[in-house]
Amino acid sequence: MAEILSDSPLLETPLAPLHRELGGKMVPFAGYSMPVQYPAGILAEHLATRQGATLFDVSHMGQVELRGEGAAEALERLTPADVKILKPGRQKYGLLTTEAGGVLDDFMVANLGDRLFLVLNASRKDVDCAAIEAALPAGVTLHRMPDRALLAFQGPAAVPSLATLAPAVAALPFMGVAAAEIAGIPVLVSRSGYTGEDGVEISVAADRAEDLARTLLALPGASIAGLGARDSLRLEAGLCLYGNDIDETTSPVEAGLTWTVGKRRRTEWNFPGAERIREELDNGPKRLRVGILPEGRQPARAHTAIAVGGETVGEVTSGTFGPSLNGPCAMGYVAREHAADGTALELMVRGKAIPARVAATPFIPHRYAR
């Protein structure tokens, strides 16, 4: 996990007292003190997510609204995503791009009817907001929402158990968004997540966040999970982590995220970095992000060199032991000629070459609601 270290004191989320009460092991992450795990441990928290329902505090992430006529058009100045096509009550994943064709951030955007709601990475929210504000026309305004918390409730039991308190949630399709009330607490719920499982992400007023968290944890089969499990879950699900797998040096095409470039946008080419992205779509990128399965049980971590026939062809960007896979898994970039599924690779772990192969992601099939 990318850690942003600085001398400034760590920020806390509204759930900090609850994390301490539950025995959360707090670590610095993107300027916040966040729970990496609880006494159950990463392995148990990971498996509990795949089997039941777990609650993650992701309040460090940035929540912002874009308000005003033309908000979608304004956001399209910064992203190759088709934002205008997004219907009210729908959310999509997208990338903010740089003029050089790199990835400024990855984000979620929801159409709330009269405004857009965005969720940004904690480590990038300041950079993103500055870029967005610089591109806004008169009449469209950006509103940061530091008084909101964000909870993820993930796993096959999450929505069925939450529906006992808020029946409307069960009717939300994957990537659907709606205002709701959970045990009398007003919330904004989206059917989405970062684990590969069905589940929801819930935006709530900071001063109601602990009430909501305790309500969710009291549901049958629910337990708490930390950022460690969140990382192993997303990696098994083949999902990118900004700062590891994508950053300002990686293009959307190299990252295998061309599906986030809207069809209409590929006729307009009017987004930052369009020149590089178009060139790579036409001729293929020099390197590609791939899934990697090492042989044996030893994980290959981020920055492990990838070789073919003794020659370095790339680098691992994320790697861990996948608890559901019961084995190591990784992702990284390799030169395009070595990117086909099944290609034999060597991972240079502590001076030893570990055999591995390129493998399709997700490593664990997604089980999103339809």
Partner 1 sequence: MADLKFSKDHEWVRLEGNVATVGITDHAQTALGDVVFVDLPEAGREVAAGEAIAVVESVKAASDVYAPVAGTIVESNGALADDPSLVNGAAQSDGWFFRIELSNPDELDGLMDAAAYQAFVDSQS
299 binds partner 1 (CB under 8 A): yes
Helix (H) / strand (E) containing 110: strand 103-111
225 binds partner 1 (CB under 8 A): no
Contacts of 110 (CB under 8 A, 6+ apart): 86, 90, 91, 116, 117, 118, 177, 190
Q: Which is nearer to partner 1, 28 or 89 (CB)?
A: 28
CA–CA separation, 329 vs 129, rounded Å?
34
Considering only 107-115, 141-149, 211-219, 317-325, which stretch makes contact with partner 1 by CB under 8 A? 317-325
Query: Does residue 292 interact with partner 1 by CB under 8 A?
Result: no
User: Which is nearer to partner 1, 183 or 305 (by Cβ)?
Assistant: 305
Residue 24 burial by Cβ neighbours in a 10 Å radius (0-12, 13-18, 19+): buried
Cβ-based burial of 147 (10 A; exposed 0-12, middle 13-18, buried ≥19): exposed
Q: Which of 323, 330, 347, 359 binds partner 1 (CB under 8 A)?
A: 323
Nearest to partner 1 of 37, 244 (CB atom):
37
Q: Of residues 67, 84, 301, 367, which one binds partner 1 by CB under 8 A?
A: 301
54 binds partner 1 (CB under 8 A): no
Q: Does 42 bind partner 1 (CB under 8 A)?
A: yes
Evaluate whether 166 touches 188 at the Cβ level (below 8 Å).
no
Which spans in 138-208 are helix H? 158-162
Q: Which stretch, 61-69, 184-192, 258-266, 291-299, contacts partner 1 (CB under 8 A)?
A: 291-299
228 binds partner 1 (CB under 8 A): yes
- Residues 170-209 vs partner 1: string with x where CB under 8 A? ----------------------------------------
Exactly one of 49, 232, 251, 260 binds partner 1 (CB under 8 A); which one?
232
Q: Is 60 helix (H, G, I), strand (E, B) or coil?
A: coil
297 binds partner 1 (CB under 8 A): yes
Give yes or no for residue 36 binding partner 1 (CB under 8 A). yes
Instruction: Name which of 248, 8, 226 is nearest 106 in CA terms.
Output: 248
* Candidate residues 2, 10, 11, 43; the one interacting with partner 1 per rule CB under 8 A: 43
- Give the integer Cα–Cα distance in Å for 117 and 212: 21
| CB closer to partner 1 out of 107 and 321 | 321
Reading the block at residue 138, the tokens are 């008169």
- 41 scored as a contact of partner 1 (CB under 8 A): yes
User: What's the min distance (Å) between Cβ of 169 and partner 1?
Assistant: 31
Q: State which residue, 24 or 328, has the beta carbon closest to partner 1.
A: 328
How many Å separate Cα 50 from the centre of its chain?
Answer: 17
Q: Are 92 and 261 in contact (CB under 8 A)?
A: no
CA distances 347 to 143, 261, 307, 335, 362, Å, are 45, 32, 6, 14, 20
In the complex, the residues that contact partner 1 under the rule CB under 8 A are 36-37, 41-44, 46, 228, 231-232, 296-299, 301, 320-321, 323, 328, 350
